């Protein structure tokens, strides 16, 4: 069934090229998708073609969940104004959010995006500690704002990216597969690896102290997503937080991508590491697509902010519609027991992906928590050489199979799964079965590069070149 469009796709593309900044990039650039409909874990293009959505963590409780749509519609027709007036939806949301957090985290600030939340978190940390130096993880991404790019090596590391400010200190990613300390090379004990990585943050704390300024804050996603779906070793965050606090800094947990039950065992990913942050930022899944986010902190830090006497006013932040929608998302998470589902389906997905590791030459590592899963592709399992071009090829092939996945990590070689939480075991099976098939196609490419060349010809132009270049290089080595 084709859907009603305002204009043919070619016209949409033409207008987009003319009127939307080219820095806003399309997914599948040479042949982008026009998505006109979403239901639960599925998205539909203009021709009615259905895609299994394995990447849209924003559509947390499923695309267009009727309870959320209804809540938005109701509140939109009643009132939407700023939080200089009292409103029940605002305080109910605050109370419910706080109830999911450990005790000291009891004061909320509502904003419109994860970027705004992280910006405010850093501002709170600065005001509270009266310091500026920030420790961030390599390859971390905390948002698109000027203040966030400064602490996002994901952007700073790019060739055209801005320069790293000298008050930003970059700690190594606690990646035990391809990071500074790996398993089993540097240690067979997860705890020890956790300590080794935490000690790196400790060193940076002392560096910040030695420059006479001291550390203001440590900011990190509880599980690093853009960095490549990283699951830090046990004890990493607890030891890191200890170092930071001993140095007088505060600890910020960025839960924008990984919060709201995605990890399956807990509502917040920091809980899997047994820590209590000083400031938590939440966003993306919070409004199931509606722009709403929040900062949750301790009464002490909130008081430091209020004590400046400077008002914090965010025009749309905490407006009744945003709050009603966020409350509805919490309703669905509870009523449909989505956290338990993320645990059950996530474990199934993880186990099935694990089996791919033994069957395919490209699958180097499989890791995850709940419905946050990464499959790292390598061209050499021993050397753990990133299979960047192959990962791009897989994404494109999966799209042909009507399954949307993406890739990330500093070498863009980690397949990333973070589907809406209504994802089912059947969906997981379809995802893994298809991936199995696509990887099998690639298993033969070392032997027959020519076969692959023919195979990928109809695909994305750029993809072709990358894969062909990589294959050519391998062939050269073989010769």
Q: Pick out residues in 91-110 that bind a second copy (CB under 8 A).
A: 91-92, 94-95, 98, 106-109
Residue 377 Cβ vs a second copy, minimum distance, rounded to whole Å: 22
Find out whether 332 and 68 touch, Cβ atoms under 8 Å.
yes
Q: Which helix (H) or strand (E) holds 144?
A: none
Give the DSSP letter string of 204-257.
HHHHHHHTTS-EEEEEEESSBSTTTSB-PPTTHHHHHHHHHHHTT-EEEEE-TT
Contacts of residue 451, Cβ cutoff 8 Å, sequence gap at least 6: 444, 445
Q: Which two tokens stand for residue 367?
A: 């890791």
- The region of 6-14, 190-198, 389-397, 434-442 touching a second copy under the rule CB under 8 A is 6-14
Nearer to a second copy by Cβ, of 122 and 258: the residue is 122
Stretch that binds a second copy, among 203-211, 283-291, 354-362, 440-448 (CB under 8 A): 283-291
The nearer residue to a second copy, 43 or 387, going by C-beta atoms, is 43
Over the Cα atoms of the chain, what is R_g? 23
* Smallest distance from a second copy to CB 128, Å: 12
Instruction: Give the integer Cα–Cα distance in Å for 77 and 72.
Output: 9
Q: Which of 38, 179, 232, 259 binds a second copy (CB under 8 A)?
A: 38
**Beta carbon of residue 252, minimum distance to a second copy (angstroms, whole number):** 14
Cis peptide before 116 (omega within 30 of 0): no
Confirm or reject binding of residue 183 to a second copy (CB under 8 A).
no
Contact flag: residue 168 with a second copy (CB under 8 A): no
Q: How many CB atoms lie within 10 A of CB 358?
A: 7
Q: In sequence order, which ranges of 275-319 are alpha helices (DSSP H)?
A: 299-307
> For residue 294, what are its two tokens?
């929040």
Nearer to a second copy, 183 or 316 (CB): 316
Phi/psi for 461 (5° steps) reads: -50, -50
* Beta carbons within 8 Å of 435's beta carbon, 6+ residues apart: 353, 356, 375, 394, 398, 405, 415
Q: Which of 100, 129, 136, 319 binds a second copy (CB under 8 A)?
A: 319
| Cβ at position 228, least distance to a second copy in Å | 17
Residue 25: CB partners within 8 Å, gap ≥ 6? none
Taking the least distance from each CB to a second copy, the nearer of 82 and 474 is 82
Closest CB to a second copy among residues 126, 266: 126
Measured between alpha carbons, how far is 472 from 141 in angstroms, rounded to an integer? 33
Torsion of the alpha carbons at 70, 76, 82 and 86, rounded to the nearest 10: -70
37 binds a second copy (CB under 8 A): yes
Which residue lies nearer to a second copy by CB, 159 or 212?
159
- Window 75 to 94, contacts with a second copy (CB under 8 A): 76-92, 94
Quick note: the x/- pattern for a second copy over 285-314, rule CB under 8 A, is: ---xxxxx----x----xx-xxxxxxxxxx
Rounded-to-integer distance, Cα 239 and Cα 236, Å: 6
Interface stretch with a second copy, choices 12-20, 199-207, 330-338, 432-440 (CB under 8 A): 12-20
DSSP-assigned letters across all residues of 191-202: HHHHHHHHHHHH
Query: Which residue in the block uniquely carries the two structure tokens 């966030």?
Result: 148
> Does residue 358 touch a second copy according to CB under 8 A?
no
Helix (H) or strand (E) holding 58: none
If the CB atoms of residues 11 and 443 are measured against a second copy, the closer one turns out to be 11
- By CB under 8 A, the residues from 144 to 163 that bind a second copy are 144-147, 155, 158-161
Complex with a second copy: residue 43 or 438, whichever CB lies closer: 43
Nearest approach in angstroms of CB 236 to a second copy is 27
| Nearest residue (CB) to a second copy, 106 versus 238 | 106
Minimum CB separation from a second copy for residue 130, in Å? 11
Closer CB to a second copy, 26 or 472, in the complex? 26
- Decide if residue 423 touches a second copy (CB under 8 A): no
CA atoms within 13 A on the CB side of 298: 15
Instruction: Name which of residues 213 to 252 contact a second copy (CB under 8 A).
Output: none
Report how far residue 366's alpha carbon sits from residue 111's, in angstroms, rounded to the nearest whole number: 35
Exactly one of 30, 48, 66, 465 binds a second copy (CB under 8 A); that residue is: 66
Instruction: Tell me: does residue 19 bind a second copy (CB under 8 A).
Output: yes
Residues in contact with a second copy, counted by CB under 8 A, come to a total of 105
Residues 111-130 binding a second copy (CB under 8 A) are 112-116, 119-120, 122-123
Shortest distance in whole angstroms from residue 241 CB to a second copy: 23
Rule CB under 8 A: choose which of 58, 61, 220, 330 binds a second copy: 58
């Amino acid at each position: 069934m084709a859907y009603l469009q305002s204009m043919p796709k070619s016209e949409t593309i033409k207008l987009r090229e003319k009127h939307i900044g080219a820095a806003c990039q399309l997914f599948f650039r040479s042949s982008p998708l026009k998505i006109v409909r979403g239901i639960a874990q599925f998205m539909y293009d203009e021709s009615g073609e259905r895609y299994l959505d394995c990447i849209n963590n924003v559509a947390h409780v499923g695309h267009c969940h009727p309870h959320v749509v209804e809540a938005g519609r109701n509140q939109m027709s009643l009132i939407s104004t700023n939080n200089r007036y009292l409103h029940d939806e605002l305080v109910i949301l605050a109370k419910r959010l706080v109830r999911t957090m450990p005790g000291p985290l009891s004061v909320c600030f509502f904003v419109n995006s994860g970027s705004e939340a992280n910006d405010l978190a850093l501002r709170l940390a600065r005001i509270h500690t009266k310091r500026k130096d920030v420790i961030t993880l390599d390859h971390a991404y905390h948002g698109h704002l000027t203040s966030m790019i400064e602490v996002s090596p994901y952007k700073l590391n790019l060739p055209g990216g801005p320069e790293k400010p000298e008050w930003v200190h970059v700690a190594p990613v606690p990646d035990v597969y391809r990071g500074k300390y790996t398993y089993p090379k540097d240690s067979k004990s997860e705890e020890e690896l956790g300590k080794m990585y935490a000690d790196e943050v400790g060193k940076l704390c002392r560096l910040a102290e030695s420059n006479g300024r001291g550390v203001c804050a440590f900011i990190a996603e509880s599980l690093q997503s853009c960095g490549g779906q990283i699951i830090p070793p046990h004890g990493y965050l607890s030891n890191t937080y200890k170092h930071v606090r001993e140095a007088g800094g505060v600890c910020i947990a960025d839960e924008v991508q990984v919060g709201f039950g995605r990890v399956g065992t807990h509502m917040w990913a920091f809980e899997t590491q047994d820590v209590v942050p000083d400031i938590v930022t939440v966003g993306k899944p919070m409004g199931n697509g509606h722009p709403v986010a929040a900062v949750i902190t301790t009464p002490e830090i909130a008081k430091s902010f209020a004590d400046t006497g400077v008002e914090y006013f965010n025009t749309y932040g905490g407006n009744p519609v945003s709050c009603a929608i966020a409350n509805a998302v919490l309703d669905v998470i509870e009523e449909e027991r989505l956290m338990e589902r993320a645990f059950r389906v996530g474990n199934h997905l993880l186990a099935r992906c694990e089996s791919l590791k033994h069957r395919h030459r490209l699958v180097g590592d499989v890791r995850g928590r709940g419905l946050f899963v990464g499959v790292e592709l390598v061209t050499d399992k021993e050397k753990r050489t990133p299979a960047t071009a192959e990962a791009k090829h897989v994404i494109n092939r999966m799209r042909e199979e009507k399954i949307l996945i993406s890739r990330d990590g500093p070498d863009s070689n980690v397949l990333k799964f973070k589907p809406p939480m209504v994802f089912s075991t059947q969906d997981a099976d379809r995802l893994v079965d298809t991936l199995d098939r696509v990887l099998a196609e690639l298993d033969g490419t070392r032997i027959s590069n020519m076969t692959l060349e023919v195979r990928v010809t109809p695909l994305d132009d750029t993809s072709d070149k990358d894969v062909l270049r990589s294959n050519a290089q391998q062939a050269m080595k073989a010769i």
